[in-house]
Amino acid sequence: MKKLSLFFTFLIISVYLSSCLNYTQVTTIKVDGSGNMFIHYWMKWKNSRDSLLIENLGIFNQDSVKKEFLSDFVKLTNVEVYKDYSDSTAHTKVELEFSSLENLNKTRAFKGAELSIKDGPENTKIFSQFIQPIATGFGFESKDFSITYIYYLPGQILSNNATSVSNNKLTWKYTLDEIGTGKYITATYRPFKLKETPVWIYYSALFVIIVVIFYLFSKRTK
């Protein structure tokens, strides 16, 4: 039996629980392709039976969650799992750093996500991620499902299929019906130039050198 990703295991089980669920992923990508990510998913239980089942889910167990993201290319900086009894919700929060976006595909959590950044025409980059189709049924209503991807891309945004854009921040937000048989989120951008040393630093250094030479020359002539 194939190993399902953390996220889609979460979705399938939540269908049987008939619970409201949400998934938010915030990713910042640097010019060199490395970056960091914050994931927060949470589920609302409706009765004591659901609450008991949630306790036994690996997706709400700290050690199990860590294994899903385990990789030589990923550094986990924080994993937090807790229940909020004030609104009957179970939460998992994950923070991580990655050496390249594509390397996340090697983790169990992102199996099938097809994360990629490819070279485009005229020195552009093309980002994409695949949201896999999710089977419906068992009385599970699309209004009870929300998925949000937020990406900060390192460049000028040229084209995209995001639901909202603000400078280099792109947001994709979908319900279950909108995902349908699967959906690619994508954006084309022109990368920011790597930080260059400001010209004024060279002038300052040159000025200091001239002052030092002048000082040494003055001492010699005395």
Instruction: Assess if residue 209 is contained within a domain.
Output: no
Residue 42 predicted with pLDDT over 70:
yes
Q: Domain total for the chain?
A: 1
pTM of the predicted model as reported, rounded to 2 decimal places: 0.77
The whole-number pLDDT of residue 90 equals 85
Residue 60 predicted with pLDDT over 90:
no
Instruction: Assess if residue 201 is contained within a domain.
Output: no
Is residue 52 very low, low, confident or very high in pLDDT (cuts 50, 70, 90)?
low
Residue 103 predicted with pLDDT over 60:
yes
Structure-model confidence comparison of residues 148 and 196, the more confident one: 148
Strands 20-29 and 145-152: parallel
Nearest CA to 15 out of 50, 41, 61, 65 is that of 50
3-25 pLDDT, tens per residue? 445 455 555 555 445 556 788 99
Q: Please state, in angstroms and rounded to a whole number, the distance separating the CA atoms of residues 37 and 151.
A: 9
Nearest CA to 49 out of 18, 26, 25 is that of 18
**30 near 98, Cβ under 8 Å?**
no
Nearest CA to 73 out of 39, 36, 128, 111 is that of 36
Residues 1-5: contacts with CB under 8 Å, at least 24 apart: 3/108, 3/111, 4/111, 5/68, 5/108, 5/109, 5/110, 5/111, 5/112, 5/113, 5/132
Instruction: Assess if residue 206 is contained within a domain.
Output: no
Mean pLDDT of the chain: 79
Q: Is residue 46 classed as helix, strand or coil in its secondary structure? A: coil
The whole-number pLDDT of residue 138 equals 37
The whole-number pLDDT of residue 3 equals 44
Residue 196 predicted with pLDDT over 60:
no
Show the tokens assigned to 174.
């979908």
157-194 pLDDT, tens per residue? 999 999 999 999 999 998 877 887 889 999 999 998 86
Instruction: Assess if residue 52 is contained within a domain.
Output: yes
The whole-number pLDDT of residue 201 equals 45
Is residue 36 very low, low, confident or very high in pLDDT (cuts 50, 70, 90)?
very high
Instruction: Assess if residue 83 is contained within a domain.
Output: yes
Is residue 137 very low, low, confident or very high in pLDDT (cuts 50, 70, 90)?
very low
Look up the domain containing 129 and give its range: 6-196
Structure-model confidence comparison of residues 46 and 138, the more confident one: 46
Label residue 39 exposed, middle or buried (CB < 10 Å: 0-12, 13-18, 19+). buried
Instruction: Assess if residue 153 is contained within a domain.
Output: yes
Label residue 6 exposed, middle or buried (CB < 10 Å: 0-12, 13-18, 19+). buried
Tell how far CA 185 is from the center of its chain.
13
**10 near 61, Cβ under 8 Å?**
no
Instruction: Assess if residue 202 is contained within a domain.
Output: no
How large is the average pLDDT for residues 115-143?
A: 78
Structure-model confidence comparison of residues 101 and 55, the more confident one: 101
Instruction: Assess if residue 1 is contained within a domain.
Output: no
Structure-model confidence comparison of residues 98 and 210, the more confident one: 98
